[in-house]
C-alpha cells in the first residue's frame, strides 16, 4: 500500500456544526448523570425503596452531636459544617451572634435531672406547672389528634399571649401578690391544676419570689399599694391607684441575656397622672375589662411566659438586638428571632440549657417560637411588596381578576407571601 494512501484523509462529507457538538456533550452528560444516580447514596439507602412498601423498617444514624463550634462552643453534628472554612453557622452565624448565658436555678435543675423525689411527677406535669406560675396566659387552640407514638404538641389557629389587670388576682403574676397559703388555694382552684403537688407548688412559689424579678415586682407593687391605702386613711385623702410598667428601651444593651434587676425591667406608676403611656412599654393596669395581648416584639414575652425555662427573668428577643460588632455587616445589623433562638437553644459545655430538658414544655416553646417567626416573615412580606417586585406578577393578577369576574366574586389585594423555611432548634 502506498504510504500516501495510508494516511487517513479528512471526511469529505458535511462538516460538523456547533449544534452537533453540543448534542454530543448533552449525551455524555446524560450518561454520566445516569451512572451517578445508579451509585447514589440516596437510592442505595435501605429506606429508599422500602418507603414505597407498606411494612418497612430502616435505621439512620447522624452520628454524635459532639463537635464544638470554634466561636461559641456549641455542640453540632459534623455534617452541619458550611462554607469554605467548614465552620458551623447555625448556632452563632460564625460569631455574628453573641449573647450572655446566665446560670440556671439549682432547685429547678434538680427537678429536671431526676435529683428530687418528685422529679418524674414534675416533668410529666411541667406544662401545668409552668402555666400555674407564668405571668401571662398562653392562648392557643391545642389540637388533640389521636396518634400513636410519643407526645407531640400540636396547635391550630392563632397564638396569643394575654396579660390581665391587677384586680384579677386569679391569673398570672397577680398571684404572686398573695401570701403562700392563699396563692396555693388560688392556683389549685383551677381544674387544670388539680393534679399538682402542694409541696412543689409552695417550693416553686418561694423560689420565684427569691430569684425572679417579675415576681418581686408584683410583690413590691402590692406593698406600695398597701402603704398608700394606709396613708390615705390616716390623712383622709383619696387613694392613689398604682400599676406596673415594664420597660422596653431600644438603647439598652442589657437585653443581650444578662440578669436584670427590678429597677431595670419595671417601675410603679400612678394611673391618675394624665400622661399618655409609652407605646413601646408594657403596662399592667390596676383595673381592666379584659386581658390585653402582648406584642410578639416585646422582650418580656419569653421570661413572663416560660418562668421555668428562664427563672431569672432573662430578657427575650426584641427587634433592637444587633449583631456582634466585629462581624456586623453594613446591610444586616439586626438580630433575627431565628438567630436568637438558635443561639439560646444550642447545647454547650459547662452550661445547663433548660430549654432542651423540659419535655412537653420544650415542644410548646419550639412551636411558639416557630409561629412567631413565621408571623414576622409574613409581616415583612406584606410591608415590603415593592422590594419583592410584585408588579412582575401582572399575568397572575390578570388571571385572578378574570376568574373573580367570571365567578362574580371580589378579588383581594395582591401580595406575594411564598415562604421557604428551614430551621433547626
Instruction: Convert the pLDDT of each residue in 28-86 to its tens digit.
Output: 776 766 666 555 445 455 555 555 555 556 677 778 899 999 999 999 999 889 888 88
Q: Do 251 and 176 lie in a common domain?
A: yes
If pLDDT is split at 50, 70 and 90, which confidence band does 336 have? very high
Residue 62 lies in a domain: no
Q: Do 279 and 422 lie in a common domain?
A: no
Give the whole-angstrom CA distance, residue 337 versus residue 334.
10
Count other Cβ atoms within 10 Å, centred on residue 304: 24
Q: Is 181 exposed, middle or buried (0-12, 13-18, 19+ CB in 10 A)?
A: exposed
Residues forming beta bridges with residue 161, ordered by sequence position: 138
User: Angle at CA 214, nearest 5°, toward 208 and 219?
Assistant: 80
Cα 296 to Cα 125, 287, 308, 374, distances in angstroms: 26, 23, 19, 12
**Considering only CA atoms, which of 109, 55, 61, 3 is closest in space to residue 352?**
109
Residue 120 lies in a domain: yes
3-state helix, strand, coil in the chain (%, to 5): 40, 10, 50
Q: Do 139 and 209 lie in a common domain?
A: yes
Domain count along the chain: 2
Helix or strand (DSSP H, E) at 110: helix 106-112
Residue 19 pLDDT > 70, yes or no? Answer: no
If pLDDT is split at 50, 70 and 90, which confidence band does 394 have? low
Q: Do 307 and 227 lie in a common domain?
A: yes
DSSP helix/strand/coil, 362: helix
Q: For the chain, how far is it from start to end, CA to CA, in angstroms?
A: 79
Domain residue limits at 182? 106-322
Of 301, 322, 343, which residue constitutes the final position of a domain?
Answer: 322
- Report the percent of the chain where pLDDT is more than 90: 29
pTM: 0.72
What was the pLDDT predicted at 144? 78
What was the pLDDT predicted at 368? 92
Give the whole-angstrom CA distance, residue 130 versus residue 305.
8
Residue 365 pLDDT > 90, yes or no? Answer: yes
What was the pLDDT predicted at 277? 44
Q: Which residues are CB-neighbours of 52 under 8 A, at least 6 positions away?
A: none
Residue 211 pLDDT > 60, yes or no? Answer: yes
Q: What are phi and psi of 195, to 5 degrees?
A: -95, 10
Of 281, 303, 322, which residue constitutes the final position of a domain?
Answer: 322
Q: Is 402 exposed, middle or buried (0-12, 13-18, 19+ CB in 10 A)?
A: exposed
Residue 220 lies in a domain: yes
- Reported as half-sphere exposure (CB side, CA atoms, 13 A), residue 145 has a value of 11
Residue 215 lies in a domain: yes
Q: Do 216 and 124 lie in a common domain?
A: yes
Residue 255 pLDDT > 60, yes or no? Answer: no
Of 271, 297, 322, which residue constitutes the final position of a domain?
Answer: 322
- Backbone CA torsion sign across 59, 63, 64, 70: negative
**Considering only CA atoms, which of 353, 370, 403 is closest in space to residue 140?**
370
Residue 272 lies in a domain: yes
Q: Residue length, the chain? A: 425
Amino acid at each position: 500500500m502506498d504510504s500516501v494512501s495510508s494516511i487517513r484523509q479528512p471526511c469529505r462529507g458535511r462538516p460538523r456544526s456547533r449544534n452537533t457538538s453540543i448534542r454530543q456533550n448533552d449525551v455524555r452528560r446524560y450518561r454520566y448523570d445516569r451512572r451517578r444516580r445508579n451509585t447514589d447514596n440516596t437510592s442505595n439507602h435501605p429506606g429508599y425503596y422500602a418507603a414505597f412498601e407498606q411494612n418497612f423498617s430502616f435505621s439512620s444514624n447522624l452520628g454524635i452531636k459532639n463537635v464544638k463550634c470554634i466561636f461559641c462552643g456549641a455542640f453540632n453534628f459534623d455534617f452541619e459544617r458550611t462554607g469554605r472554612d467548614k465552620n458551623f453557622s447555625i448556632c452563632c452565624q460564625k460569631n455574628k451572634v453573641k449573647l450572655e448565658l446566665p446560670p440556671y436555678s439549682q432547685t429547678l435543675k434538680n427537678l429536671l435531672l431526676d435529683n428530687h423525689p418528685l422529679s418524674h411527677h414534675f416533668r410529666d406535669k411541667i406544662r401545668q406547672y409552668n402555666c400555674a406560675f407564668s405571668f401571662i396566659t398562653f392562648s392557643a387552640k391545642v389540637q388533640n389528634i389521636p396518634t400513636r407514638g410519643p407526645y407531640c404538641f400540636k396547635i391550630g389557629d392563632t397564638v396569643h399571649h394575654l396579660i390581665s389587670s391587677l384586680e384579677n388576682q386569679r391569673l398570672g403574676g397577680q398571684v404572686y401578690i398573695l401570701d403562700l397559703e392563699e396563692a396555693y388555694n388560688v392556683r389549685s382552684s383551677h381544674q387544670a391544676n388539680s393534679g399538682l403537688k402542694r409541696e412543689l407548688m409552695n417550693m416553686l412559689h418561694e423560689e420565684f419570689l427569691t430569684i425572679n424579678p417579675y415576681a418581686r415586682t408584683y410583690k413590691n407593687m402590692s406593698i406600695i399599694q398597701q402603704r398608700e391605702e394606709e396613708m390615705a386613711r390616716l390623712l383622709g385623702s383619696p387613694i392613689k391607684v398604682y400599676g406596673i410598667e415594664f420597660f422596653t428601651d431600644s438603647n439598652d444593651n442589657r437585653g443581650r441575656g444578662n440578669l436584670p434587676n427590678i429597677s431595670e425591667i419595671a417601675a410603679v406608676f400612678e394611673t391618675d397622672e394624665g400622661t399618655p403611656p409609652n407605646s413601646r412599654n408594657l403596662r399592667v393596669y390596676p383595673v381592666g375589662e379584659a386581658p390585653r395581648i402582648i406584642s410578639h416584639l416585646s422582650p418580656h414575652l419569653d421570661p413572663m411566659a416560660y418562668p421555668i425555662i428562664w427563672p431569672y427573668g432573662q430578657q427575650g428577643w426584641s427587634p433592637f438586638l444587633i449583631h456582634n460588632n466585629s462581624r456586623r455587616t453594613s446591610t444586616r445589623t439586626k438580630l433575627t428571632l431565628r438567630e436568637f433562638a438558635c443561639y439560646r437553644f444550642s447545647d454547650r459545655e459547662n452550661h445547663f440549657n433548660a430549654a432542651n430538658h423540659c419535655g412537653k414544655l420544650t415542644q410548646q416553646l419550639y412551636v411558639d417560637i416557630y409561629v412567631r417567626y413565621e408571623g414576622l416573615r409574613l409581616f415583612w412580606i406584606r410591608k415590603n411588596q415593592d422590594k419583592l417586585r410584585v408588579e412582575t406578577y401582572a399575568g397572575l393578577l390578570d388571571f385572578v381578576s378574570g376568574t373573580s369576574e367570571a365567578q362574580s366574586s371580589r378579588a383581594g389585594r395582591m401580595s406575594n407571601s411564598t415562604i421557604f423555611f428551614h430551621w433547626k432548634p
